[in-house]
Amino acid sequence: MNKSTHLFSSLVLAILFMLTACSEQSEVKHEVIRPIAWAKVKTHDLTQVRRLAGATAAIEKASLSFLVGGKVDGVSVNLGQKITKGQVLATLDQRSFNLNFQSAQAKYAQASSALNEAENEYQRYKELVEQGLVSKSGFDNAEAAYKSALSNVEVAKSQLELATKDRQDSTLQAPYDGVITKRMIEPSQQISPGQSVFEVEGHGGLEVHVSVPESLIQQLSDGMIVPVRFPAAPNVELTGVITEVGTRAETANAFPITMVLNGSSPQLRAGMTAEVDITYINETYENALTQVGNPQSTEGQTVEDQTAKDKNIGGQMNGSDLATKETMIIPVSALGAGLNQTKFVFVYDDATQTVSKRDVVASNILGNEVFIAKGLKAQEIIAIAGVSFLRDGQKVTLLDANVKRFN
């Protein structure tokens, strides 16, 4: 009896042991490695370049004229000739100017002589009246004559200075080193005061004049640097600094812009065609970078500020700044919605072969793409389908790149 009882007990224990082992094995869960469709985070340049045609012009340029009129006596330079500062370019007939000068000299000398006589007479009467030897009226007459002589000398002196200046102005000189770009004068020609006779350009460098459409004028400001090319000199590439931005539209609602070239080349001349590359923010993408309503997201509140900082409108932006204006773009299918209107994506870690849930700030959606303002870096791998079936830290395997979707 005891033996039977012992066998029965052993059998029960064995059965219980087997049941327990089976139960434990049933509780072991094998982690599912989920295959995912994936993509790398892309960057998108928000800028575009528009090429506008303009023309070069000399920074130093002037239209020269005589300040006096007369008959042209001689012309010393020709079109295209190089000139130096102070060089005589043309002269008027000197005879009339010399006569006026000599006449003024004679009048000044005569007035000076009369002044000496009047002054001596005045001093003599002054002494006599003090001694009581002459009447006061005689002294008054001498004093009046002296003052009149002083006035006559001042008038004669002014006339002499004017005659001297007229004679000097009858010779036209170069204002600076440069070249004659236009000649409008010939010997024996009668010239009026202020009539343009030469146009000259200096060696102070070149500037470019271009008309900018009204759609781009708000993107430009003084100090911006833009690249400039020249069809007639394809090997020459320079930059220009905007120095003037017109405030009033001219032909076809375009605004005049002036920029000074940084550098020079012997191949360039005034009047050549210049092509200016204006880099600007694409209006479509600029509008897309407006913060989507997310009042409860503290990160989302910085998107608009960051966008305004990146745009940098108002004179601080230059061509190189615009070239780096980029944003992160991911497919719409990669974006998940969390609590309190938060957005998230799953980022793949190659070292652990897992995905991690990461909050992002989405600025807007354009077509099938989402603009990401914060939370992602370029070239990071993210899941682009089935994100609702993933969990933080889950092991995954990447599907072949040709597989577009997986759920």
Same domain, 309 and 387: yes
Is 185 in contact with 76 (CB distance < 8 Å)? Answer: no
In a domain, 324, yes or no: yes
Domain range for 392: 34-46+285-398
Rounded distance, CA 115 to CA 119, Å? 6
Give residues with Cβ within 8 angstroms of 39, minimum separation 6. 330, 331, 334, 381, 382, 384
Q: Based on the domain organization, do 239 and 294 belong to the same domain?
A: no
**Contact assessment for residue 9 and residue 1, using Cβ atoms and an 8 Å cutoff:** no
**What's 385's DSSP letter?**
S
Token duo for residue 150: 């002083």
Could you tell me which residues come within 8 angstroms of residue 378 by beta carbon, excluding any fewer than 6 positions away?
Answer: 41, 42, 43, 328
Looking at residue 371, its pLDDT comes to 86
Low-confidence ranges of the chain (pLDDT < 50): 24, 26-28, 286, 288-324, 404-407
Q: Taking each helix axis from N to C terminus, what angle separates 95-131 and 136-169, rounded to the nearest 10 degrees? A: 160
Residues 6+ apart with CB under 8 A from 177: 82, 83, 84, 85, 202, 203
| Tokens (6 digits) for 19 | 């049941």
Out of 256, 281, 306, a domain closes at 281
Q: The tokens 């990401």 sit on which residue? A: 372
Would residue 405 count as lying in a domain?
no
268 and 311 share a domain? no
Which tokens in the block code for residue 25?
A: 């094995």
Domain membership of residue 388 (yes or no) is yes
259 SS3 class: strand
pLDDT of residue 256: 94
213 and 266 together in one domain: yes
314 in any annotated domain: yes
Q: What is the model's pLDDT at position 219?
A: 83
- The model's pLDDT over 38-85, given as tens digits with 9 standing for 90+, comes to 999 988 776 778 899 999 999 999 999 999 999 999 999 999 999 999
User: Which position has the token pair 């009033």?
Assistant: 248
Residue that is last in its domain, among 281, 299, 321: 281
Task: Give the strand pairing for 34-36 and 396-398.
Answer: parallel
| Residues 70 and 200 both lie in one domain | yes
Residue 360 and residue 315 share a domain: yes
Nearest to 252 by CA among 218, 213, 281, 282: 213
Residues 210 and 319 in one domain: no
Q: What is the pLDDT of residue 96?
A: 92
Instruction: Let me know if residue 86 belongs to a domain.
Output: yes
The residues near 376 (Cβ < 8 Å, ≥ 6 apart) are 41, 328, 330, 345, 347, 358, 360, 382
Kindly state whether residues 181 and 87 are assigned to the same domain: yes
- Same domain? 87 vs 196: yes
Does residue 159 sit in the same domain as residue 181?
A: no
Residues whose CB is less than 8 angstroms from the CB of residue 69 and which lie 6 or more positions away in sequence, other chains included? 92, 190, 191, 192, 193, 195
What CATH number has the domain bearing residue 123?
1.10.287.470
pTM for the whole structure: 0.53
**Is 403 contained in some domain?**
no
Secondary structure letter of residue 301 according to DSSP: G
What CATH number is given to the structural domain containing 54? 2.40.30.170
Answer with the one of 262, 281, 300 that is the final residue of a domain: 281
Sign of CA dihedral 383, 388, 390, 393: positive
Same domain, 253 and 351: no
Which CATH number goes with the domain that contains 315? 2.40.420.20
Contact 204, 190 (CB under 8 A): no
Backbone angles phi, psi at 164, to 5 degrees: -65, -45
Domain shared by 127 and 188, yes or no: no
As for how many domains the chain has, the answer is 4
CA distance 155 to 153: 5
